[in-house]
A and B are shown apart, each in its own frame.
Chain A
Amino acid sequence: MGTFHQNKGELHGITVVVETHGPEVFVGRCDTVTPQGVILLDGDRHSDGDDGRSKEEYLRQAAQFGVWKKYDRLMVPTAEVVSIRRLSELGA
């Protein structure tokens, strides 16, 4: 038995990784993908080198255990987005 979500697209409710053209990467639960950008809930943002961790190291840890929520809501502008993929697609 599940719960009730409006039809917000196939990634709604799924934990995703949003890669950008810059050093930043975003991880969070996808709410919607709009023409303006990707809206993530309960997410985190990491810039290459933050906390002494490369982007790759951050994503490796995220794939294993998830991320600590730092933002209730994040919006990644479409112009910055290179890719959106499920966090589960990254090898843990």
Chain B
Amino acid sequence: MPYSPLLVKPMRDELTAIGVQELLSAEEVDSFMNQKEGTSFLIVNSVCGCAAGMARPAIRVALENGTRPDRTASVFAGQDLEATAQVRSYMAQIPPSSPSMALFKDGELVFFVPRHRIEGRDAEAVAKDLTDAFEANC
């Protein structure tokens, strides 16, 4: 059963407050992914406290420091079901993982952070991985 939207709202707000676009439908995902030129950073947000609680602060740190992708968006797993399924269709070779993060360059997946690379780490360590990927690709 999905969590209450009221519970989830602060977790959405953590990302929208730093300029992350929310994608709520499959059409919005397609529109975002069809912008192939440059770099697109796509976040699968999640309620999970074991990983998402670190992922969101890490994203904020990475996006607020230096090099950043041309576009950044998120879907919320377990909430925006259609949008999340559509995101996963662009990464069909990768097992579903939430939270997770993907960086696309000119439409190609160049960097992926699955949930297990977030679990148990602090936000600074995850942010460092993201910053390194942004600097290498953006």
Contacts and interface: CB of A to CB of B under 8 A. Distances in A.
The answer on A and B forming one complex is yes
Interface of A: 1-5, 12-15, 65-69, 86-88, 92
B52 to A, nearest CB: 7
Contacts of B51: 13
A78 B64 CA distance: 46
A15 B49 contact: no
Q: Which of A67, A68, A88 has the most CB of B within 10 A?
A: A88
A16 B75 CA distance: 26
Interface in B1-47: 3, 10-11, 14, 47
A3 B49 contact: yes
Nearest to B118: A88
Interface string B90-129: 0000111100000000000000101111011100000000
B50 interface: yes
Contact of A13 (B11, B14, B48, B117): B48
A92 to B, nearest CB: 7
B119 A88 contact: yes
A14 B50 contact: yes
Given A66-B94, A66-B114, A69-B95, A4 B119 contact: no
B125 to A, nearest CB: 11
B121 to A, nearest CB: 7
Given A88-B120, A92-B117, 20 more contacts: A1-B10, A1-B14, A1-B53, A2-B50, A3-B47, A3-B48, A3-B49, A3-B53, A4-B49, A5-B49, A5-B50, A13-B49, A13-B119, A14-B50, A65-B97, A65-B112, A66-B97, A66-B114, A86-B116, A88-B117
Contacts of A13: 48-51, 119
Interface in B35-84: 47-53, 56
Contacts of B10: 1
A65 B50 contact: no
